[in-house]
Amino acid sequence: MFAYEDGLLLTRPRLWVDVRRRQRRAFVSHAHADHMARHEMAFCTTETAHLYRTRLGPRPVREMRYGSAIELAGVRLTALPAGHCLGSAMLLAEQDGRSLLYTGDFKLGPSLTAAPAQPVKADWLVMESTFGRPEYRLPPRSEVVEQLLHTVHDALDAGRTPVVHAYALGKSQEVTKILTANGVPVLQHPHAWRISRVYEACGCELGSGAADVAEYHRAPLAGHAVVTLPRSMKNHRLPGLGPVVSIAVTGWAAAPGAAKRLGVDVALPLSDHADYTELIRLVELVEPQVVYCTHGPAGFVDRLRSLGHDARPLAPEPQGRLF
């Protein structure tokens, strides 16, 4: 069914996964820019198809519904929820009684804007391992959300605008939903607002009404939080903000000195990726014969081996050309 050759896992159908170069056929696990390209035919969930076309324009797509298998050249392909962002999916490939699960970016914990991850048992597991270091055991989500709300309310009480820096797709919508669900209306950077319209068109409501979420125009509004892009992106600045409290939400905030490194007042470890504990838990759930790790530290492969797993690094990095 599968062959391992020069660091690449291949199947006869030549379906490439999450590559950034145009391919004849490719599975797009989710619509983040580093996981997609203008393929001749993209295989992805319906929600990812909407986001993919929003970001790259009209493209040929074969839509996949969670849990409903399709056939491609004798291989059975099933998209499963990955818990990373709206439409994110793992891919289960099955042929001749053998199976491979590709995770893409995933998270096992809860989310307000992504379907919960549903990994299944497979003979081979290809997994992203971004937070594959022990220091990235993140605190409980409830504690991080409490810190976020406390920071936002303190800023508002002090007459400052709380400005949350988050990626336009995924984290912006998750933070917005957290805030509006707790009574804080949100103004979004235009890039995030454009993506949020797709979320809501797909049935993922980010607030209880139009007053809860709006596009940012020229100046903040009293009592509102602002969600903008990460400071590392050149378009993050918004006009007329005045005094602010800047907040970064990222799993990398678990590292010491994160706020200074990210150039913000407060850094909170709210992540849409599996942390170190969840990475190991995934392997336990899938029970693979072989684990291939990608987009993570080499030390994580060693850790899995110490736990008795046949773990190997997937090369070349950083692209996971898998099937």
Mean of per-residue pLDDT scores for the chain: 93
* Three-state secondary structure call for residue 170: coil
Cα 141 to the center of its chain, rounded Å: 16
The residue behind tokens 């991080």 is 144
What backbone phi and psi angles, to 5 degrees, belong to 118?
A: -135, 70
Furthest-apart CA atoms within the chain: distance in Å:
64
Task: Return the pLDDT at 321.
Answer: 33
* The pairing of beta strand 26-27 with beta strand 42-45: parallel
Read off the pLDDT of residues 197-217 as tens digits, 9 standing for 90 and up: 999 999 999 998 888 999 999
Which tokens is 276 given? 């170190």
The residue behind tokens 């009574």 is 183
Q: Which residues of the chain have pLDDT under 50?
A: 1-12, 316-323
Q: What is the rounded distance in angstroms from the CA atom of residue 10 to the CA atom of residue 73?
A: 13
DSSP-assigned beta bridge partners for residue 165: 228, 248
Q: What is the rounded distance in angstroms from the CA atom of residue 148 to the CA atom of residue 162?
A: 10
Q: What is the rounded distance in angstroms from the CA atom of residue 245 to the CA atom of residue 193?
A: 21
The H helix count followed by the E strand count for the chain is: 7, 19
Torsion (CA) 147, 152, 158, 162 in degrees, nearest 10: 130
Task: Return the pLDDT at 15.
Answer: 83
The residue behind tokens 């849990």 is 67
* Three-state secondary structure call for residue 16: strand
What domains lie within the chain, and their CATH numbers?
A: 3-135+273-313 (3.60.15.10), 141-268 (3.40.50.12650)
| Residue 81: partners with Cβ closer than 8 Å, 6 or more residues away | 66, 88, 89, 90, 114, 115, 116, 117, 118
Task: Return the pLDDT at 315.
Answer: 66
3-state helix, strand, coil in the chain (%, to 5): 25, 25, 50
3-class SS letters over 239-263: CCCCCEEEEEECHHHHCCCHHHHHC
| CB-based contact 260:94 (threshold 8 Å) | no
Instruction: From 242, 238, 218, select the one nearest 228 (Cα to Cα).
Output: 238
